[in-house]
Amino acid sequence: MSWLRRVTARFPTVVLARRNLSRASARTTLAVVAIVIGVVAIGTIGAGGEAFKQDQMEAYEGFGGTATVSPVYYQNDDGDIVGGISDKDVSRMRQVTSGATVHPVIQRWDTVVRTSSGETSPSAQVKGLAALGTFYEAQSGSIPDSWRQQVVVGSRFADNNDVETGDQLTVTINGSFERTFRVAAVLEPQGFADQLQADRSVFLPFDRLSQLEDSESEYGSVIVRVDPQTASIDEAAESLETEFNTRRRTIAVSEVQEQRERFGQTFEMINQFLIGVGSISLLVAAVTIANTMLMTAIEREREIGVMRAVGYPKRAVVSLLLAEATILGLVGAAIGVPLALGIGMGLNQFLVGDPLAFTAAGLRYVGLGALFGVLTSLFAGVYPAWKSANKRPVEALE
Amino acid sequence: MTWETSDSEGAKPTETARGDRPGDAAGGGDLILRGEDVTKEYQTGTQTVRALKGIDFGIAPSDFVAIVGPSGSGKSTLLNLLGLLDVPTDGAVSLRGQDVSTFSDADRTRKRKRAIGFVFQSFYLIPTLTALENVEMPRMLDKTPVKTRERAKTLLRRVGLGDRLDHYPDELSGGQKQRVAIARSLINDPALLLADEPTGNLDRDTGDEILALFDELRAEEDVAIVTVTHDAYVAEEADRVVNLVDGVIEDAGETAADGGHGA
Ligand SMILES: Nc1ncnc2c1ncn2[C@@H]1O[C@H](COP(=O)(O)OP(=O)(O)OP(=O)(O)O)[C@@H](O)[C@H]1O
Ligand SMILES: [Mg+2]
């Protein structure tokens, strides 16, 4: 007690401020709630958004030193739409990008996928890609190196259709080809930034698809990859451009690293916008605090008049009211930060599947929210404090 | 029209108190507060209200002056000027020879703290502070918490509230609150105590206790007391009664039978 008293006696302003706040507890609580909401909004949006971005960025991870090539279609002189990537094109790609591996991707749209329970999945994308295991990891089962009787499915497809490793899937293509496969693996979730939208895909053995009778030897896209240690994907991309796009643009080459950066930038903008929207709640909190402090100041006009009369300088009155406003902000931040972290953990679990998936940038937003919460309160207290300190004690006492 | 610090014969402690002040004698150099031709006007919109119309006053240590007069006659206005809470529109108020109008707001605040104690009609205690803390309040920002606490306890015992130190204002009776307010006004050892109807809310017995306390303070600490009052018995106790009517002093008398002028 005496120890506490000696400490608090050093900060009489804080003691007075705290007592005053406890006097109008309902109003104080509401003001704190306003700050809490602001801190939580900024912290949660910031941290959750950063975790989400981080998670999406991971989808690019298997694609280092990689470029995707997609066909450019155009209208010829007869008015027909022509274009596409054929086996011959793939061979040319292999030639001009010596040292790179070239993986054509087959995508069929005329397919029906049926689970063993007989349900069909219309949104499943049937694809073929050799060396699947070099791009993706399996969350269950394992991705076979060479395969004829099995399929590998994406996580979303598996979730939506209750499919697990070991289940049977029947795939019908173009009404003629029909075959039942065993699910060898379910892939890790990749997110929407994934090159091949693997989450929604059913990967058939590449050879099966390429050997289909009606196969027009046409590929939906081609993945070109170099070992970034020994070769440059820039060079490979340039060679492809020269080979295919000199006379007329027939392919589009896109380096995944660039896509990744673009995605990061876009997402950053969206996140900042959302945080901006969240900050509006702090603005509302500022209004609430200012209102609270004005009411306090008016209510205590006489009391403050007495303080001025007995020799408190204006400065002391200003500090007292600012201390009160700041305490509101500090308490709001103290409640808001754990709350933001808690909600952030929920969001992480929901978006990323790991409650502790906070990133440094995300935690920075939580800190920023807390800081803004305190500063907002302080600034909101300035006008009421100034107004109240500048009232002449006589006026205040009348 | 003037109210001078007449060398009142009647006032008991006055004589002894004056003796040990340097430069006493006639010149009034020992006056705590002096006013000359003090005028106060209030501007409300286009209208000018002359609340005080050129009055003179002087207050010496251990004086006890009662200000009486009808409502709106300028009593509170005068008290505010005496307390350096306001400055006159015309004329001069000087504190120990220094013209108050040359002080900045911060200066006046400092002088108030050092020299003047206030007792308000409605007490104006701070409800979140205990009796003891209320008494300490004027010195709370000083870095002498231990000394302040000792002094505050002494003062509360002195006003008979030694057993109510930790009570909050709403746990005290009107008379007890007023006594806390008086203790608070004394925490800085003021030379001048200004009271606006200190007994206005109290019954006669409690009022008498307050008056007894005033007497003690004057005798023991040389405190000069100026009080606005509507109560005849308070005016009767005073050395001098200042009868304000419409901003002018009607007549100044020694402890006079006309003390009941007010009301
Ligand atoms: N702030 C102000 N603005 C304008 N006029 C004022 C102000 N304060 C006082 N007055 C006027 O000055 C005159 C004197 O007022 P004052 O408060 O000194 O009266 P009083 O003698 O204390 O009255 P009461 O006994 O009712 O308290 C009144 O006419 C009042 O209307
Ligand atoms: Mg009055």
pTM of the complete model: 0.72
Q: What's the pLDDT at B29?
A: 55
What pLDDT score does B136 carry?
93
Name A183's bridge partners: A151
In this prediction, residue A335 carries a pLDDT of: 95
| Amino acid A19: pLDDT | 82
Q: Do A393 and B85 touch (CB under 8 A)?
A: yes
Nearest atom in ligand 1 to the alpha carbon of residue A395 is: 1
Nearest chain A CA: its distance from B111 CA (Å): 8
Residue A214's pLDDT band (boundaries 50, 70, 90)? low
Whether A149 has a pLDDT exceeding 90, the answer reads no
Instruction: Say how far apart CA B174 and CA B203 lie, in whole Å.
Output: 9
Measured distance CA(B200)–CA(B174) in Å, rounded:
10
Nearest CA to A265 out of A19, A102, A56, A10 is that of A56
Residue A193, pLDDT above cutoff 80: no
Q: Where are the domains of chain A?
A: 2-59+262-397, 73-249
ipTM exceeding the 0.85 mark: no
Euclidean distance between CA atoms B226 and B211, whole angstroms: 12
Q: How far is the CA of B73 from the centre of ligand 2 (A)?
A: 8
Residue A129 has pLDDT above 80, yes or no: yes
Q: How confident is the model at residue A217 (pLDDT cuts 50, 70, 90)?
A: low
How much of chain A is in helix, strand and coil states, percent to nearest 5? 55, 20, 25
Per-residue pLDDT in tens (0 to 9) along chain B, 263 residues? 445 544 444 444 433 333 343 433 334 458 889 999 999 999 888 999 999 999 999 999 989 999 999 999 999 899 999 999 888 999 999 999 889 889 998 999 999 999 999 998 788 898 888 999 999 999 988 888 889 999 999 999 988 899 999 999 999 988 899 889 999 999 999 999 999 888 887 788 888 888 988 998 899 888 999 999 988 888 898 999 999 999 898 865 444 444 444 33
Which residues partner with B40 through β-bridges?
B52
* Residues near B150 by beta carbon (within 8 Å), at least 6 away in sequence: none
- A311 to chain B, any CB pair closer than 8 A? The answer is yes
List chain B residues with CB under 8 Å of A23. 127-128
Lowest mean pLDDT among A80-84, A286-290, B216-220: A80-84
Residue A72's pLDDT is what?
A: 87
What's the rounded Cα separation, in Å, for the pair A343 and A355?
10
CB contact under 8 A, B138 and A311: yes
Stronger pLDDT, B224 or A8, i.e. the higher one: B224
CA gap A130, A207 in Å, rounded = 8
Percent of chain A with pLDDT over 90: 19
Taking the centre of ligand 2 as the mean of its atom positions, its distance from the CA of residue A195, in whole angstroms, is 84
Q: Tell me the mean pLDDT in the region A259-277.
A: 87
Per-residue confidence (pLDDT) for residue B225, from 0 to 100: 94
Q: Ligand 1, residues B47, B52, B76: which to mutate, most atoms within 8 A of Cβ?
A: B76
Using an 8 Å CB-CB cutoff, list chain B residues near A302: 122, 124
Instruction: Identify the structural domains of chain B with CATH numbers, from first to last.
Output: 61-88+105-254 (3.40.50.300)
Cβ(B235)–Cβ(B253) under 8 Å? no
Out of A9, A16, A314, closest to residue B145 by CB: A9
Other CB atoms within a 10 A radius of the CB of residue B2 amount to: 14
pLDDT single digits (tens) B147-206: 999 999 999 998 889 999 999 999 998 889 988 999 999 999 999 999 988 888 778 888
Q: How far is the CA of B86 from the centre of ligand 2 (A)?
A: 14
Listed ranges A96-105, A353-362, A368-377; the one with the highest mean pLDDT: A368-377
Contact list, B113 vs chain A (CB under 8 Å): 310-311
Residue-level pLDDT at A215: 59
**3-state SS, residue A179:** strand
Q: According to the model, what pLDDT value does residue B251 have? A: 67
Chain segment A41-63, per-residue pLDDT in tens: 999 888 888 888 877 777 777 67
Would you say the CB of residue B263 lies under 6 angstroms from ligand 1?
no
Q: How far is ligand 1, taken at its centre, from the CA of residue B192, in Å?
A: 22
Interface probe for A, chosen from B40, B75, B84, B85 (most Cβ of A below 10 Å), is: B85
Instruction: Report, as an integer, the average pLDDT of A182-206.
Output: 85
Q: What percent of chain A has pLDDT over 70?
A: 95
pLDDT in tens, A224-243: 888 877 778 888 888 888 88
Determine the average pLDDT of the residues in A290-304: 87
Q: In chain B, count H helices and then E strands.
A: 8, 11
